[in-house]
């Protein structure tokens, strides 16, 4: 049984002087063109909505966001020379772990009261995508959720699950901050403890964690999901791009050659049940491991 499935992000056309033709499990966003040389013969991709990239003044409506995704699919298929629909398509949530000031984005978690409106917008976006499911088949729907603390997150998950079917995926947004602000790990675990059982009771069998490559968080999610027979995936640009940085080790690369680094991360996450962070443990043990 696979551990955590990794959808490798990144739209760069070339890496270390080579064409970026990486296939397999990929993650793309509708904001940027796909790499033209991608190996479309072995491609399974998650198509994000672009909500991460859109500043407040350029936010779209859920229907306009979906139109952008479908246009992206069509143009990318033309570039690849064959029609390739997304395996999974993501709802247009509103992120609560970043703040835009004078056109500049910074990582900063919202307050619970500030996030109430973001949760409502996120639920509305999930509801809209779910209303389009017939026309989007066989793509999976990734119904994104947001929330600052475990209780608010559970409320969002409950509302999103009202629109979900067992074939859908539940997306955990707003946690890419956790690798930098590791003190949020206990709250992340509490969020999983509250929400994963709810997701399982609704019959949904897969969850996706957006933009996280930090092992303690991924191993925690995998362990709790395993208790409820739910599978897990994540996405990140780091496996593709970290090897190209000036100091690749500081950037988190495990190999200086980008293809080898991608393969290392794919294999490592596939075997994440062997991680020392996998398993039930208290916050005290968690702190000791960190």
Q: How does the average pLDDT of the chain come out, rounded?
A: 92
What is the predicted pLDDT for the residue at 220? Answer: 96
Q: Is the pLDDT of residue 43 over 60?
A: yes
**CATH top-level class of 4-289:** alpha beta
Confidence grade of residue 278 (pLDDT, cut at 50, 70, 90): very high
Which residues, at least 6 apart from 144, have a Cβ–Cβ distance to it below 8 Å? 49, 51, 90, 91, 92, 93, 122, 125, 126, 160, 171, 172, 173, 210
Residue 53, CA atoms < 13 Å, CB-side half-sphere: 9
Q: What is the pTM of this model?
A: 0.94
Which whole number is the average pLDDT over 15-21? 92
Q: Is the pLDDT of residue 106 over 90?
A: no
pLDDT(284) > 60: no
Residue 290: predicted pLDDT? 57
Q: What tens digit of pLDDT does each residue of 190-225 get?
A: 999 999 999 999 999 999 999 999 999 999 999 999
Q: How far apart are CA 121 and CA 238, in angstroms?
A: 29
Predicted local confidence at residue 35, as pLDDT: 87
Mean pLDDT over residues 85-112, rounded? 82
Task: Say if residue 138 is preceded by a cis peptide, omega within 30 of 0.
Answer: yes
Confidence of residue 118 (pLDDT cuts 50, 70, 90): very high
Separation of alpha carbons 82 and 204, rounded Å: 31
Least confident of 9-13, 66-70, 162-166, 245-249: 245-249
Which residues have C-beta within 8 Å of that of residue 168, sequence separation ≥ 6?
Answer: 130, 140, 141, 142, 143, 204
**pLDDT score at 211:** 95
* pLDDT score of 102: 65
Give the pairing of strands 140-145 and 104-107. unpaired
pLDDT tens digit string along 79-96? 999 999 999 999 999 988
């Amino acid at each position: 049984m696979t551990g955590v499935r990794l959808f490798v992000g990144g739209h760069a056309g070339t890496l270390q002087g080579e064409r970026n033709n990486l296939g397999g499990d990929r993650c793309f966003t509708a904001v940027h063109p796909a790499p033209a040389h991608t190996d479309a013969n072995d491609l399974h991709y998650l198509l994000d909505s672009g909500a991460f990239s859109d500043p407040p003044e350029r936010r779209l409506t859920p229907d306009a966001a979906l139109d952008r995704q479908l246009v992206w699919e069509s143009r990318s298929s033309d570039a690849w020379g064959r029609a390739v629909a997304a395996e999974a398509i993501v709802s247009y949530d509103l992120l609560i772990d970043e703040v835009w000031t004078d056109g500049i984005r910074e990582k900063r978690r919202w307050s619970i009261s500030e996030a109430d409106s973001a949760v409502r917008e996120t639920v509305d976006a999930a509801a809209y995508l779910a209303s389009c499911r017939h026309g989007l088949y066989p793509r999976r729907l990734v119904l994104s959720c947001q929330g600052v603390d475990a209780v608010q997150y559970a409320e969002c998950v409950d509302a999103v699950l009202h629109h979900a079917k067992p074939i859908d995926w539940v997306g955990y947004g707003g946690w890419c901050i956790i690798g930098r602000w590791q003190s949020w790990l206990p709250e992340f675990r509490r969020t999983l403890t509250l929400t994963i059982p709810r997701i399982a009771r609704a019959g949904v069998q897969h969850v996706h964690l957006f933009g996280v490559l930090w092992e303690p968080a991924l191993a925690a999610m995998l362990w709790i999901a395993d208790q409820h027979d739910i599978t897990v995936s994540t996405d990140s640009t780091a496996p593709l791009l970290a090897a190209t940085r000036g100091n690749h080790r500081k950037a988190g690369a495990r190999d200086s050659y980008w293809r080898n680094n991608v393969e290392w991360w794919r294999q490592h996450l596939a075997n994440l049940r062997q991680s020392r962070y996998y398993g039930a443990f208290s916050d005290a043990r968690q702190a000791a491991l960190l």
